[in-house]
Structure 1
Amino acid sequence: MFGAFERAVAVRYLRARKGERFVSIIAIFSLVGIALGVATLIIVMSVMNGFKADLLSRILGMQGDLTVYGAGPTLSDYDAVRDRILHVPGVIRAAPVVEGQALLSVGSTNTGGMVRGMRAEDLDRVPAVGGHIIDGNLADLKGDTIAVGATFAARAGLAIGSQVTLLSPNGAATAFGTIPRIKAYRVVAIFDTGVSDYNLGYVFIPLDAAQTFFQTGDTASDITVSVADPTHVQSRTEAIRAALAGRPVRVMDWTTSNNAFFAAVTVEGNVMFLILTLIILVAAFNVISSMIMMVKDKSRDIAILRTIGASRGAVLRIFLMCGAFVGVTGTAIGTLLGVVFCLNIERLRQWLQHVTGTTLFDPTVYYLEHLPAQLDPAEVVEIVAIALALSLAATIYPSWKAARTDPVEALRHE
């Protein structure tokens, strides 16, 4: 498509000579603009993807992929229901839970929290808790014992063996009013889920202790279920409904219970993609301006080329190659920069925190304790394709104008 003569002329035009450096500088700025636009788009979209994936894994790691509720406030035959759920293909974990709110009190520290009663073996299989015990042992979660989050333990000064008092507002009614239930529990484990809200507001006690504290009898609030592929949880939800047909239960998966939250994150990612694509579009306009200036500057050369036999198509291809070089080189540099940055983003964050002495990613504000980044190859290819398409499209009009140059008019005043 491009002959040796056309390539040689294009390379010569890209090398600035004395008196032509201004045009070359404009082309360099265009290249840098495209590179920065591509890199920024890759970095931001990778962080958005990582944020969504990490948030999803942490939320589902604590709450489960779907939940089975009874027809009433509690579920009586929870062990039989759990056994039937575990026989559904794709289900990897099912655990009965007794859940309720209570006031957590340690000395002068008082905070509201969610109390979840679970068997120790079931809690050990909860990804966000069982694999993140920083002190103590979940095997000791028996009787009047409790497992607390790292944030709450640090705030209240708790250690293994400390006492935590739970106060429930739903107490016994007497002639003097309702007396709240109060019970002290010994700390046997401290966990760190990586989510500040969970570390502060969630505590775990044995299932039978929760049944006694909340006075639910031999029932459970619900059964939390985890599946092998949370992204396709709807099919497992239908399978569980079919397995529990005839029983008065309700099944709700994470796409329903957290749909608004994750939909908002998805919309935000799409909007960010559109906004940051404008950076590449602006750089493409710079390519147009630099190419128009180059055509204007090279009008005499174009006329000479035409008079010695170069066709309009040859002139068109020469300037297409000049513009394509800027677009392709800028896109390649930006892609490399964006990928390398994403692969080392957490190291860069820690280095900047060390150098500046400030917290760049406060977990109490941003919900997560590190800066995640997840490169999506398909998304990177899409970004590269958009950048190449915009930058190459920007060269069409200036190249067409160069090919339409009239040699007689260009050389009239020479």
Structure 2
Amino acid sequence: MFGSFERMVAKRYLRARKGERFVSVIAIFSLIGIALGVGTLIVVMAVMNGFKDDLLGRILGLNGDLSVYGQMTYSGPKPITDYQQLSQRMEKYPGIKSAIPFIEGQVLLSAGNYNSGGMVRGMSAEGLKKLTVVSKSLDAAAFDRFKGDNTIIIGQTLAERAGLGIGSKITLIAPKGAATVMGNIPRIKSYTVVGVFDSGMHEYNSSYVFLPIPAAQKFFQMKDGVTGIQISTTDPAHIQEISQKLAAKFDDQDLRFMDWTQSNNAFFGAVQVEQNVMFLILTLIILVAAFNVISSLIMMVKDKTRDIAILRTMGASRGAIMRIFLMCGASVGVTGTFIGTIIGVLFCKNIEHIRQGLQKLTGTNLFNPEVYYLEHLPAKLDWADVIQVVLMALILSLLATLYPSWKAARTDPVEGLRNE
């Protein structure tokens, strides 16, 4: 497509000579702008993907892909009494890894001078082992001690804030208590901490506690029932299809099925919108750099008017002139895109080390887990996104060269020499 003559002339034009330094400086800034735009866009997309996937993995790891509840009544969801039989039947269904009965309720957590709201999860030791996001940080002794009516497992952040450890006491206060002649008296009970988990998610570490199912049944006065059954599947992306099939299979059980897309739809929808907006905003950086390519090429065409006229009189076609300046502009875009891609990929591969280094250098917390939910900076490099960014940058750079190149090809050699 490009001949040796055209490549030679374009290469000479890209070299700054005396009197042409300003045009070269603009081209260099255009290259830097494209490189920074491409690199920043790759990093931001990787961080957003990592944030979404890591957060989704931790949320589903604790709450499951699908939750099964009893039908709603005026006092809340109807407890599920035959939960052991139901969970065993559901675990045999294709695509389901585990079906864990659970009891859930809000409480006030109190230990010494520390008081905070929290969420209680009642589970068996076997069910808790299946929650890898929690069980991976617990030792075998914690599961052996997790039994009886007065044992509890708490999160690491809660333990640090309240000064608790193995063997410490923590009090749970339920808002709904027994009705007496003196009014409604909240239920209060102390439990012994037998384990401390670290889910890697600040919100769970600070507010979730786990009780054995018999202890939770007694505390929430649920007799032989549970709140629901938590289901984990092999393919969370197709959870709606599995949910519909399960609902049809157990339609005689008077159950409600709620998958993760329904319970967290607003949250992950907001993350997706934020990702799209960030992509659009950072694309403007590349667009601005592309406009710099246009300005530098227009100035180059203006400076090379005499050269263009001479080349035309020597027999160079308009197409050859256009290709020369296309190569001049495209080389800036391609080089900038290549450099930006390398910078972005290397940054993503070492982003956590870079964050820790900057934290040590500045002495500030650049990724507060209380704000960002997670306790580290995730980055998932999706090569499809990288290719998308690279193609977009190349296309914008190429489009930026069309008008100046066309303008150069339309230069009249007679007028060009006359003006000189």
SS for the counterpart of 1:105 is: strand
Q: Deviation of residue 131 (structure 1)?
A: 0.9
SS for the counterpart of 1:54 is: helix
Q: Deviation of residue 265 (structure 1)?
A: 0.7
Q: Could you say which residue in structure 2 is the equivalent of 1:12?
A: 12
Q: Could you say which residue in structure 2 is the equivalent of 1:192?
A: 198
Q: Which TM-score applies when normalising by structure 2? A: 0.96
Instruction: Return the alpha-carbon distance in structure 1 between the equivalents of residues 226 and 213 of structure 2.
Output: 9
Instruction: Return the alpha-carbon distance in structure 1 between the equivalents of residues 179 and 247 of structure 2.
Output: 39
Matched-pair identity in %:
64
Out of 126, 139, 142, the residue aligned to residue 131 of structure 2 is: 126
Out of 392, 401, 408, the residue aligned to residue 398 of structure 2 is: 392
Q: Could you say which residue in structure 2 is the equivalent of 1:94?
A: 99
Instruction: Return the alpha-carbon distance in structure 2 between the equivalents of residues 332 and 74 of structure 1.
Output: 60
Q: Could you say which residue in structure 2 is the equivalent of 1:410?
A: 416
The residue type paired with residue 252 of structure 1 is M
Q: Could you say which residue in structure 2 is the equivalent of 1:274?
A: 280
Q: Deviation of residue 320 (structure 1)?
A: 0.6
Q: Could you say which residue in structure 2 is the equivalent of 1:66?
A: 66
Q: Deviations over 1:391-411 (max 9, x none)?
A: 001101111111111111111
Paired residues of 1:36 and 1:334 also in contact (CA < 8 A): yes
Instruction: Return the alpha-carbon distance in structure 1 between the equivalents of residues 344 and 394 of structure 2.
Output: 16
Q: Could you say which residue in structure 1 is the equivalent of 2:386?
A: 380
Q: Deviation of residue 100 (structure 1)?
A: 1.2
Q: Deviation of residue 127 (structure 1)?
A: 2.2
Q: Could you say which residue in structure 2 is the equivalent of 1:28?
A: 28
Answer with 351-360 or 161-170: which moved more: 161-170
Instruction: Return the alpha-carbon distance in structure 2 between the equivalents of residues 231 and 322 of structure 1.
Output: 46
SS for the counterpart of 1:394 is: helix
Out of 147, 154, 162, the residue aligned to residue 148 of structure 1 is: 154
Instruction: Return the alpha-carbon distance in structure 2 between the equivalents of residues 290 and 184 of structure 1.
Output: 74
Q: Which TM-score applies when normalising by structure 1? A: 0.98
Number of residue-to-residue matches in the alignment: 414
1:368 aligns with 2:370: no
Q: Deviation of residue 135 (structure 1)?
A: 10
The residue type paired with residue 358 of structure 2 is L
Instruction: Return the alpha-carbon distance in structure 1 between the equivalents of residues 253 and 86 of structure 2.
Output: 9
Instruction: Return the alpha-carbon distance in structure 1 between the equivalents of residues 402 and 179 of structure 2.
Output: 83
Q: Could you say which residue in structure 1 is the equivalent of 2:302?
A: 296
Q: Could you say which residue in structure 2 is the equivalent of 1:307?
A: 313
Instruction: Return the alpha-carbon distance in structure 2 between the equivalents of residues 171 and 90 of structure 1.
Output: 40
Q: 1:413 to 1:201 in 2, by over 3 A?
A: closer
Instruction: Return the alpha-carbon distance in structure 1 between the equivalents of residues 113 and 403 of structure 2.
Output: 74
Paired residues of 1:135 and 1:190 also in contact (CA < 8 A): no
1:239 aligns with 2:245: yes
Q: Deviations over 1:223-261 (max 9, x none)?
A: 011111112211211222122121100000000111011
1:39 aligns with 2:35: no
1:80 aligns with 2:81: no
Paired residues of 1:62 and 1:126 also in contact (CA < 8 A): yes
1:203 aligns with 2:203: no
Q: Deviation of residue 87 (structure 1)?
A: 1.4
Instruction: Return the alpha-carbon distance in structure 2 between the equivalents of residues 322 and 403 of structure 1.
Output: 14
Q: Deviations over 1:46-101 (max 9, x none)?
A: 11111111111111111111100012421111111111211111110111001112
Q: Deviation of residue 138 (structure 1)?
A: 2.4
Paired residues of 1:88 and 1:243 also in contact (CA < 8 A): no
SS for the counterpart of 2:379 is: coil
SS for the counterpart of 1:159 is: coil
SS for the counterpart of 2:107 is: strand
1:343 aligns with 2:349: yes
Paired residues of 1:136 and 1:190 also in contact (CA < 8 A): no
Unmatched runs of 5 consecutive residues or more in structure 2: 72-76
Q: Could you say which residue in structure 1 is the equivalent of 2:51?
A: 51
Q: Deviation of residue 173 (structure 1)?
A: 2.1
Task: Note the aligned Cα RMSD (angstroms).
Answer: 1.3
The residue type paired with residue 311 of structure 1 is S
1:359 aligns with 2:365: yes
Paired residues of 1:103 and 1:112 also in contact (CA < 8 A): yes
1:254 aligns with 2:239: no
Q: Deviation of residue 174 (structure 1)?
A: 2.2
Answer with 133-142 or 191-200: which moved more: 133-142
1:230 aligns with 2:236: yes
Instruction: Return the alpha-carbon distance in structure 1 between the equivalents of residues 321 and 155 of structure 2.
Output: 70
1:110 aligns with 2:112: no
The residue type paired with residue 117 of structure 1 is G
Out of 125, 137, 140, the residue aligned to residue 142 of structure 2 is: 137
The residue type paired with residue 320 of structure 1 is L
Q: 1:3 to 1:320 in 2, by over 3 A?
A: same
Unmatched runs of 5 consecutive residues or more in structure 1: none
Paired residues of 1:84 and 1:244 also in contact (CA < 8 A): no
Paired residues of 1:132 and 1:193 also in contact (CA < 8 A): yes
Paired residues of 1:61 and 1:128 also in contact (CA < 8 A): yes
